[in-house]
Structure 1
Amino acid sequence: MMKNIIQHLKNSRRALLASHVNPDGDAIGSLLAMGIVLESLGCEVNLYNESSIPAVYRFLPSVDRIQKQLCDPERFDTAVVLDCGDLSRVGVEAKRVGAIPVVINIDHHITNTRFGQHQLVDVNACATCEIIYRLVQAMGLDVDTAMATAIYTGILSDTGSFRFSNTNRTAFAICEAMVARGVDPSSVARHVYGTYSLGRIKLLNLALDSIEISNNGYLSIMTVTREMFAETGTQSEDADGLINYARRIQDVKVAALIHELENGVNSQDSRKRFHVSLRSDGSVDVARIASGFGGGGHAGAAGFSMESSLPELKRIIYGLSDGISEKCHLN
């Protein structure tokens, strides 16, 4: 499969690269690294993500090339969709991306639906950036500092600084190789984890006040709304990482972050558009939960989107707590 993908990439003349909405470090890192790969082959490349790039990742080389608008998709002969378990994770332009003649699906999520004409999916990879690095090696290409920084950042963020269960030996080996190619680990860590704006601190305070705990103590819910963003002068990307505070509460097995999206639906029944991020302490497979709502992800980190009222959505999430209790007793 990799040989077929490599051959097609070498023959491609105009490629669109896309990653999932509300991108994390792996989505952004793999997008940028793959862009460098294709441009080294003489391909015209456009980078697309419908969401704003979180401030902590704006230090990455060429990150300003990522466009929020998809123009003239019919001119591309290839689409490379990165870090998406399903094509719909691209967002509102998913159908137009899927209509490009050849779609290449590169991902590591266990819930991947194997969409596209070509798939390079490895659920044992620590990050999509690991798969990109293996692709680069198979193609015999050089890794410059810009590509190395993107790959290193993707692996660092998706393994939670090597704390999550997806951390493997390959993650350390690749990051060591990226440091040898010019990556400064302290500089990357300073950007990704080191500083917060005053607005984000205020948003964190509101988010912490919103935390609710299920009766059995196994489930926590944190909520961030458009009103909170307006009050603190922050953007949707400033919610990145907030869920970790809810996940670290003693006895909590699963944390849910309810994030009201910018394109919320204003209707008389108060239904709006939300994204729900799920995090597990390792005892519960949240990818299975998310897939039941049309989402996906990893066993320890997953998510889904839903149109609902906030009270209705909370009732749905609280309904998961009994299943979490049963799962924990089984363990």
Structure 2
Amino acid sequence: MEDRVASLLLDWYADHARSLTWRAAPGSALPDPYRVWLSEVMLQQTTTAAVAPYFSRFTQRWPDVQALAAAPEEEVMAAWAGLGYYSRARNLVAAAREVAAMGGFPDTEEELRQLPGLGAYTAAAIAAIAFGRRAVVVDANVERVVSRLFAIEEPLPGSRKIIRQRADSITPDERSGDFAQAMMDLGATICTARDARCLLCPLQEVCQGRVTGDPLRLPVKAAKKPKPSRTGTAFWIERDSHVWLVTRPGRGMLGGMRALPDDGWSAGSDGDEEAPLSGAWRAGGVVRHSFTHFHLELGVAIHAGDDCGEPSGLTGGEWWPVAEIEAAGLPTLFAKAARLALARA
């Protein structure tokens, strides 16, 4: 069965490959490593639909790795705002500077993994897609396809070792980049989490999951633990049509991003710290946001007027024009809070 998978899948991919701005057409010359790297970093835990506009804006503004390496980190962070997982943006800048210093991207998995922010999957994807190296590329879509193809019964995450072994057994020596992208496309369009469109699948004749009669139950997943909830408060401090914004510490949640000052919820508090200003405060409502490991309810406290002096106890802040708040590059959580404060102003 293994020796048939690659040919079946590559034939299907020739006619059904998704058209994505960072991709080269099936069987064509290898794509620009910069575009492959940038797209793969953006696609980590993020959908292609969400990534596409960011990728276009980034490549227009910074068309190559040298341009990105020369960009101020705060500009890259602001351009990343809304895409989430902000450590990726910090690592993006660090990796771009390393690549620029060495004169170009390394072309092996081992060397690529030395760059900031590149794990096993991303390094394998870049090596295969951008450099034509044989590499075993396993993302969530590939995990699902392989689990069904081989009817792997062991639950995730424990099954990942056998999934990788099975993926290795079907990865061809030639065109492994096209093969990896074909597997991703199959998982994204045919063998999806919610559906198994077996009659349209190029691998239906060799799929052991289809033989079981219930491919949708694969991959088997361990029960998820419920996410804990946190509460906190963000402060909208306005004076002379300007709002006080701070820059969050470089490490930690939303690190290095501009934001509204808050009460330390990201450190695990329950919103019990005192407000940073005395005077008249009014409630501006609550925004809700989910992070990877917890849910957050963030109250918005509003203090506006000429009596708003320079906030005490807050470092790294600046008065930002309220009319230009969209240009501040606030992460999604604080963009929600800002919109709520403006609506209640």
Taking CA–CA contacts closer than 8 Å with sequence separation of 6 or more, which of the two structures ends up with the larger relative contact order? 2
TM over 0.5: no
More strand by share: 1
Query: TM-score of the superposition, structure 2-length normalised?
Result: 0.25
